[in-house]
Structure formats: structure tokens, C-alpha cells
Amino acid sequence: MAEKELGVLVHGAGVVSTQHIQAFNKNPHTRIAAISSRKLASCRARAEEAGLRDVSFYDDYEKALRHEGVDIVSVCTPQHVHAENTIAAAEAGKHIVIEKPVANSLNELRMMRDAVRKAGVKTVVSFVLRWNPLFETIKAMIADDALGRVYYVETDYEHNIGSAWTGYQDTRTKTGGVSSMLIGGCHAVDAARWFAAPGRYETADVTEVFAYSGGWRKGSNVEFNYIINEFRRIENPLEYDGLEVFIMKFDNGTVSKVSVNNDCVMPYKFPIKIFGNRGTIRDNRIWSHKFPGQKDWVELPTILPDSASVEHHPFQGEMDHFVQCILEDRESHCNLEDAVNTHEIIFAAQRCYQTHQPVKLPLSQAFSL
Ligand SMILES: NC(=O)c1ccc[n+]([C@@H]2O[C@H](COP(=O)([O-])OP(=O)(O)OC[C@H]3O[C@@H](n4cnc5c(N)ncnc54)[C@H](OP(=O)(O)O)[C@@H]3O)[C@@H](O)[C@H]2O)c1
């Protein structure tokens, strides 16, 4: 393994950047070389919180990309600038961590993919739940045939994202956020693709999707905050539906139902159901042909994906994995190429809302919304 210490530029000094900084700071092969953002004060605050010294700050991304010794760029800005940030980093020859969602349109997605292919740099998309201990356990059990052939997967992102989130004003609009499924529900789409594939580090691709949307929060001046258990009046409501439900068919025959529920009046939940022809998983409970004498569900004592807090998310696992990929010159299972299907599914749903017809994937070059 190479001995070189990799320098990291973290771009976008908000909530999620705190976890990227901490994870790269703890990794023995990386160091935070620079932080860039709109405001220098935000860069300084992140460095101080993390106890970093010898870090440079920039309010100009192009200059930050030219900082000597930067090998990796972590794109932690709001989603509407992920595409331009990623393309600039790729053109500068940097390996890239891209926060989800990676793009706001099919066109952006394709331009990013082309730039990354041309530059030959490595990427990881922050579908960080793939490193959650329950996800890792389930995926290992599927690969070990505990469920037999998986034929049905249900994953649901139940999180009433609201004005308490620093990113709300950027994402509540149709242009800034696009849809509830794109903003947070993309975690559930990624999870369904992850659990639908038999291999330990394999995802399955969706070939057809049909979607409905609904709920009550679009245009409403009321939101529910589960942290303080209160309904509140707000000035700037969501411009898109809070509820979306997708029915998806995979290339391997597996069927899936995925939902995002931004309108739920309850604390955050991420329920999981996986049905195989030799066993079943419901969250952290399993029924399997591997336990022929079982009389009740076997419960896995592990960490569930049951918190929306970024401190709870396994960013250390994601970043350690990405650094290994760079050092060993191999692609991540969670790279930009892999994320294309997830984003195409979500953009295809927008077409369903217009035509009330299922959409086949991959989307054609002629596809437009
Ligand atoms: N993987 C996950 O589980 C996870 C969890 C949380 C968030 N995320 C994603 O991470 C991204 C950021 O979310 P967040 O919660 O960290 O939001 P946030 O707190 O609003 O942070 C974004 C930061 O980016 C900076 N910024 C905004 N516009 C910019 C621009 N045009 N150029 C440069 N910097 C800009 C702002 O910094 P200033 O203070 O300098 O203005 C802001 O603090 C989103 O895409 C979100 O979906 C992912």
C-alpha cells in the first residue's frame, strides 16, 4: 500500500461537512488541507470545532482547487451546485466525494459522468447508509444465501424535513430541490437497489418504474417538527409533494416498493422489508432457512438506521472505504456510475406524474422533463 498522505479539500462548510472533516481527520492516510465555502467564517468555524491547525480557507472554489497538495475534494454544498462543483473538481484531476443527491437534472448527471470518465478520477456518492451496521449485516446475510433469492424489497424514507434544517431554503423549491424523493428519498431508492442484488458489494439496476405522489404539505403554511413535537406556521412552504411512492422492477426480476414521506407526523424512521424464497427480513429481525429450529424472529442486536442526525450516520466507514479505493486503485461500489440508475429512477418518476404511464430505464438520450 502507498505511504502517501492524501490532502482533502472540503467544499461547503455546513452541517454535513462536520462529519466529512471528522472522518478524513481520523483516517490515517488523509489530512484536511483546505476548507472552502461561500463565507470564510464558516470555514474557520468548522476548523475550530474539529481542532484543526495548518488548514487553509477559501471563499473562491477555483482557487481552493489549485491549493497545493489536494488529492480529494468533498462536495458538501447544496445539491443545486453539486454538478458544477463535481465537474470542476474532475477537471482539476481530483478524486471526489459527492454528497447526495448528486444532480438536479438528467443533463447535469450526464455532464458529471462524462467529466469523471474523461478525467479518470475516483468518486464515492454519499449513500452513507451502505455503511450502517444493520445494512452491512443484512447485505452480508443476503450474500450468504440467508434469504435465498430476493424477490421483493420495501424501503421507506420517513422524515418530515422542515425549516429547522439549514438546507431547507435551498431545497424547498422545485428548482433547488426538485422532489422529496431526490432530496432524502434517494437513500431509500439506493437501499432497495443494494438489497435487491445478491452480491456482497453489488447493486441491481431498475428497468421500469411507476410512481404516484401526494400528501398534504405542498403549499401548506404548516409543518410538524418532531424534535419539539409541535405544529408550526411557516412562511415558505414546500413547492413539491411530500409523499412519493414508487413501484420498481429490477433487471433480475425483483420487484420493489419505495417511498419518501416528508409529510409524516412522527419521528424519523427507515423501515426495511426484504422477502426471499428462503427467508425474510423486517428491520433487524430475520426468519431464515439457516435457522431450521427457530420458533420466533431472530433479532439482530445492532445499530439501526433510525436517526436523521448526521452524527449518527457512518461517514467514517464511507470515507475509510473511499481512501482504500484510492490507495488500491479500484472503483467504489458506490461511485457516480452506480448512482446514475438511482437518479434516473427519481427523474423518471417526474415523467410518470405527467403521463400516468410507467417509464423504462435506462432513460434514452431523447428523454426530457
Ligand atoms: N449523506 C447524508 O446522509 C447527508 C446528510 C445531510 C446532508 N446531506 C447532503 O449534504 C449537502 C449539504 O447539506 P447540509 O445539511 O450540510 O446543508 P447546509 O448546512 O446548508 O450546508 C451547505 C453549506 O454550503 C455552503 N454553500 C451554500 N451555497 C454555496 C455555494 N454556492 N458555493 C459554496 N458554498 C455554498 C454554505 O456555507 P456558508 O456558510 O459559507 O454560506 C452552507 O453552509 C446536501 O446535498 C444534503 O442533501 C447528506
pLDDT of residue 368: 75
Domains of the chain: 6-128+317-334 (3.40.50.720), 129-306+342-360 (3.30.360.10)
- Residues with CB under 6 Å of ligand 1 are 12-17, 37-39, 42, 76-79, 81, 99-100, 126, 128, 166-167, 310, 313
Cβ atoms of 138 and 283 within 8 Å: the answer is no
pLDDT of residue 16: 98
pLDDT of residue 172: 98
pLDDT of residue 1: 46
Residues contacting residue 272 through CB under 8 Å, at least 6 positions apart = 134, 138, 154, 155, 191, 195, 281, 282, 283, 305
Cell of 18: 462536520
Question: From the CA of 109, how far away is ligand 1's center (Å)?
Answer: 19
Question: From the CA of 23, how far away is ligand 1's center (Å)?
Answer: 17
Chunked in runs of 10, what are the mean pLDDT values of the chain (369 residues)? 82 98 98 98 98 97 98 98 98 98 97 98 98 98 98 98 95 98 98 98 98 98 94 96 98 98 98 98 98 98 96 98 98 98 98 96 84
